[in-house]
Amino acid sequence: MKKKVLIFIDWYLPGYKAGGPIQSVSNLVEHLKGEFDFSIVTRDTDYCETIPYKNVKSNEWNEQADGTRIYYFSEDQLTRANVRNLIRKADFDCLYLNGIFSLYFTLIPLFYMRKKREKRVVIAARGMFAESALGVKKTKKKFFMRSARILKLFDNVLFHVTNEQEKQDVRKALGEEIPVRTAANLPSKNTLDKLPPREKNEGTLRLVNVARIAPEKNLLYALEVLKQVKSNVTFDFYGPVYDQEYWAQCKLVMDELPQNVTANYKGSIESSKVIGMLSSYHMMFMPTQGENFGHIILQSLSAGCPVIISDQTPWKRLIESNVGWDCDLQFKEFFADNIDHSAALDQQEYDEMSEAAFRYAKKYSGNDEIVVQNRYLFL
């Protein structure tokens, strides 16, 4: 008999604007739905949206074709009482929570489950313990951490981390005794079967970025780098505007770009269209302040699109595999030099790099050990 896993996550499919967490959970479900019965509780709107999804029934279970069930809470019905009632009535063996700061999708379920410790509770850290993440709204988060320890909120809870650095971050914040299990994020099954061809002319480069527009994703930094670039570069970026004040600063820098650089905001893009979109660009440019995984980085590589990223992600020493660069954020000139170097590549040189990126992603995605790691989160 399959074990039953109840998942709480603020935003889920068909939403896509919350980015990585949606991708992480949907990939996990896709890989393990044959072994576990998954039920998912989420909102009936996408990230930063107020209009409910079309073709979903709010405030009741929606049965999916693959056997997964999804409960979409409407804003007016998302209350403490309704969340507790849903958990009380649900049949599950394991509760899987995503992140630690969501009131309705982590804290209330966690508080309710304190007296039901016979059931496994797993919390996915989702990069929220990294210094770059804890630095946002720092005072409130410090208060939360102290309160969580006093209330023993995380007693008998297993934390899911994706790498050694995230493990260290969790234990630094909550103590060395906190139970932690490492399971790398699963790749998407929506990948290309063959490498898409791209035309590459010397001296030109088409760059792309897919991330919400917020300080931690570092779009402003990326635009500042482009002011130093000497080649003919087009930079298209996709994602929801999360921080309007930050976006205003970005637009000011866009107006200051030299004539050889063009930057275009393309709005948000649905998850199902990302792989196809990436096939029309030469490289991903994302100098992020921190990623605990970075699904878009793997997606880019899987589309044969090499990457120019910061060294604040798990994707390290990329130049050794000829799939891109991971650069120190202290040096904008490193990013600019690598962009100019990439622009100077001829067709053959670029094709070799693109093929290397495609093979690199295939190797990661074909690693069965990652499936085993994730399976044991729930056993």
Q: What is the pLDDT of residues 198-234, one digit of tens each?
A: 999 999 999 999 999 999 999 999 999 999 999 999 9
Same domain, 173 and 241: no
**Same domain for 161 and 222?**
no
Same domain flag for 152 and 218: no
- Cβ atoms of 352 and 360 closer than 8 Å: no
Tally the domains of the chain: 2
- Average pLDDT score over residue span 94-120: 87
Do 168 and 208 belong together in one domain? no
pLDDT given for residue 4 in this prediction: 96
119 pLDDT band, cuts 50/70/90, is confident
Residue 264: count of CB within 10 angstroms of its CB: 10
**Pairwise pLDDT comparison (309 vs 111), residue with the higher score:** 309
Domain containing 281 equals: 204-365
Is 90 exceeded by the pLDDT of residue 142? no
User: Can you tell me the distance from the alpha carbon of 178 to that of 159, in angstroms, rounded to the nearest whole number?
Assistant: 8
pLDDT score of 19 more than 90: no
Instruction: Report the pLDDT averaged over residues 248-255.
Output: 97
The mean of the pLDDT values for the chain is 92
Residue 134's pLDDT band (boundaries 50, 70, 90)? low
Place of tokens 């009632």: 85
> How many angstroms separate the CA atoms of 278 and 295, rounded?
13
The verdict on 147 and 227 lying in the same domain is no
Decide if 194 is inside a domain: no
- Which range scores top for mean pLDDT: 169-173, 254-258, 360-364? 254-258
pLDDT band at 149 (very low <50, low <70, confident <90, very high): confident
Q: What is the pLDDT of residue 136?
A: 66
> Has residue 195 been placed in a domain?
no
Q: Tell whether 230 and 349 lie within a shared domain.
A: yes
Same structural domain, 351 and 233: yes
The helices-and-strands tally (H runs, E runs) of the chain is 13, 14
Q: Clarify whether residues 101 and 239 are in a common domain.
A: no
Task: Say whether both 181 and 313 belong to one domain.
Answer: no
In a domain, 191, yes or no: no
Q: What is the residue whose two structure tokens read 């074990």?
A: 3
Angle between the N-to-C axes of helices 20-32 and 295-302, in degrees from 0 to 180, rounded to the nearest 10? 70
Is residue 117's pLDDT more than 70? Answer: no
- pLDDT more than 90, % of the chain: 73
In a domain, residue 192? The reply is no
350 and 371 both lie in a single domain: no
Residue 174 is predicted with a pLDDT of 84
What mean pLDDT is predicted for residues 106-111? 90
Average pLDDT over residues 62-73: 94
CATH label of the domain that carries residue 259: 3.40.50.2000
Indicate whether 252 and 121 sit together in one domain: no
Q: Are strands 61-63 and 69-73 parallel, antiparallel or unpaired?
A: antiparallel
Contact 211, 286 (CB under 8 A): yes
